[in-house]
Structure 1
Amino acid sequence: MSEQEFYNTISQPSMAEFKDRGSRFIAYAYPIETTNDFKEKLQALKKEHPKAVHHCFAYRLGLDNNNFRSSDDGEPSGTAGKPILGQIDSKGLTNVLVVVVRYFGGTLLGVPGLINAYKTATTMALQLMPIVPKPVTVKLQISFDYTQMNEVMRWVKAFNCEVIEQEMQLFCSIKINAPKSRLGELVKILKDLRGIDVGEVKQ
């Protein structure tokens, strides 16, 4: 099996609301890149909804199937985080976070009712945004002399790389996300240019 070159995620944040017997379940879906993104989004929602009784969530990051988390945040075990993660996975998405904020309406919904509510709110939020394929990337650091800037940037553009950090002085250093599918080709071209140092940045 060839290594995956693309992954599916959502194009931008979305929000949907599901109501059941007075309780409100507001689902927020976000594209995220790191666990820090997740922490920031969750904190922001807790500030935005201080009176909500639960802030349940699930996210999945990366392609190795091991980087995910879900939380019932005080709801009965397995009634919130798992159904949210289940919807992310059923759509084959990664680098996605869904937080469902619950306002209690006075009537207990029971375990099946809760599972249905968290699942439905999540599905509604994920359906609002187009799913986009994104290339799997590898982070590279390229160091070069200032005089070689135009040539390096020309190849960075030609390979659709994303510049994530740059230090431009007499000696320059940039960090880029390069598509994994064309990594060997790009590294070879850059290494063939004299005086350029290319290395993979470990996450």
Structure 2
Amino acid sequence: MQENIDFYSTIAEEKRAEIKIKASKFIASAASVKSIEEAQEFLAKIRTEFFDATHNCFAYQIGWDRNTFRAADDGEPNGSAGKPILFAIQKFDFSDIIVVVTRYFGGTKLGVGGLVRAYSDATEEVLNICERKIINRTLPVKIDCKYEEISIVKRMVDEWAISFEENYSDVIEIIANIPISKANEFANLIFSATNARAKATILEN
């Protein structure tokens, strides 16, 4: 699992996949969510859509640090559904995501081991078709400089910033969005590269 504080991955859009095992149908629905509330809303939507299903098991993981997560078996044997879904999410290194696996029982019991494999396989089936979306984590750095320093400053902004905005008046103001781990270094380099003629201030996000 990546430990880079400057970015993490989620999925670009909702996806759904289905597998069948011994007449039981497993429908995996995945969505990008930014909060527990959004995860609960998606879960409620799936439960409404598949109101007649035997189980709607799920797991979600939220935040760049992945410290917010939950897994639920929804009536399946303890640890046989929610955790395999969560482990599959972690295997793919996604966050800000919920996966709900809906089961329609086909008449044949799968056993705990069979259920673990089924819920894991269903989750991987849907995650395999998800497009990965990178979420960049940045800090805004405000740069104040005169026109004499703009070529130096712009060259550094182009090299370091994920994005930036410019405002030209008597002086030039640039708000550069810099990866979190590099913001201090960038601000110091602006200062030294312009011989202290340009000022760089890290703003609150």
Residue 14 of structure 1 corresponds to 15
Q: Which sits farther off after the overlay, 5-14 or 81-90? A: 5-14
* Matched residue count: 164
TM-score (norm 2): 0.68
Contact kept? 1:135, 1:180, Cα under 8 Å: no
Q: Measured at CA, do residues 135 and 77 of structure 1 come closer, stay the same or move farther in structure 2, by a change above 3 Å?
A: same
Work out the CA distance in 1 between the residues paired with 2:80 and 2:29: 17
Selected match of 2:163 from 152, 160, 163: 160
Residue 109 of structure 1 corresponds to 110
* 1:160 CA displacement: 3.4
Work out the CA distance in 2 between the residues paired with 1:137 and 1:36: 24
> Identity over the aligned pairs, expressed in percent?
40
Deviation string, structure 1 residues 72-105 (Cα, Å, up to 9, x no partner): 0110001001100111111111111100011111
Q: CA RMSD in A?
A: 3.1
Contact kept? 1:59, 1:96, Cα under 8 Å: yes
* 1:44 CA displacement: 0.5
* 1:137 CA displacement: 4.8
1:38-49 alignment runs, 5 A limit: 38-49=39-50
Residue 65 of structure 2 corresponds to 64
Contact kept? 2:7, 2:64, Cα under 8 Å: no
* 1:66 CA displacement: 2.2
Q: Measured at CA, do residues 4 and 105 of structure 1 come closer, stay the same or move farther in structure 2, by a change above 3 Å?
A: same
Contact kept? 1:160, 1:179, Cα under 8 Å: no
Structure of larger gyration radius: 2
Work out the CA distance in 2 between the residues paired with 1:102 and 1:31: 21
Corresponding position: 1:81 with 2:82: yes
Gaps of 5+ in 1: 141-157, 162-176, 193-197
Work out the CA distance in 2 between the residues paired with 1:136 and 1:98: 24
TM-score (norm 1): 0.69
